[in-house]
Each structure stands twice: as C-alpha cells, then as structure tokens.
Amino acid sequence: MAPPKRKTGGRVTPKGTKPGQLPSTGSSETGSLAASASRTSTRAGEVGASARYTPPVPLSVRESPKWVPILMIALLSIGALTIIARYLLNDQVDNWLVFVGLGFVLAGLYTATKWH
C-alpha cells in the first residue's frame, strides 16, 4: 500500500499572530520572520508589500500609442493589396507575392494583439 500523500498548506504565520503583525516570542526562525515582517510593513496593523492585493493598472499604462492601430491597419491593407495585385497584375505562376502579402497580414495580426 502506498504511503499517504503529504498535505500542503497550513499555517504560514507563527501561532497567535496575524499577517503584518510581529510575533511576540523570538526564536531564530521567528526572528528572521520578524525581520522580514518589519521590512514589509510599517506598523503592526498594516499589511505590507507581500500582501496578495494588486492595485489596478492606471489607464495611462494600459493605453497603446496612437501609431499602433495605424500600423495595424496599414500592414493589413498592404498585405491584402499585395495578394490582390498578384492575381490581377501578375500572369506568371510565381506565388512569392502571395507569401509577401501573407507576411504583411500576419504582421498586422501580431500588431493587433498589442493594441489596448
């Protein structure tokens, strides 16, 4: 029979404390914890930088520059026009214009994924 699996989780802070609160007794393990807790919080009741809350990203950071949608539309248009021009103007069997056009279209799609 296989041994029981190890349980994960459990208490992270020393017994009798809350996150951001300094422990009352000092041992070597809790002393290092107290030192790290004092670096991440300013007062005993505040939660420091190690908390799970992540503040929302400001709108100025999320907005793309004005040139991103312009570049996307330009690349998609150049790609479509290149593919259309191959079938309208080129009587040869060469397909290199189709591959160039697909490259422009793919570059336009990649730029579209970067637009916020």
Q: Is residue 75 part of a domain?
A: yes
- Quick one: average pLDDT of 10-18? 72
Same domain, 108 and 78: yes
Does pLDDT of 1 surpass 70?
yes
- Using a 10 angstrom Cβ sphere, with 0-12 exposed, 13-18 middle and 19 or more buried, the burial of residue 79 is buried
More confident residue, 3 or 95: 95
pLDDT for position 41: 47
29-86 residue pLDDT tens: 444 554 454 455 455 555 556 667 888 877 767 788 899 999 999 999 999 999 999 9
Helix axes 67-89, 96-113, angle to 10 degrees: 160
Q: Is residue 5 part of a domain?
A: no
Q: Is residue 14 part of a domain?
A: no
| Helices within the chain (DSSP H only) | 28-40, 59-62, 67-89, 96-113
Same domain, 63 and 83: yes
pLDDT for position 72: 97
Indicate the number of domains in the chain: 2
More confident residue, 76 or 12: 76
pLDDT for position 38: 47
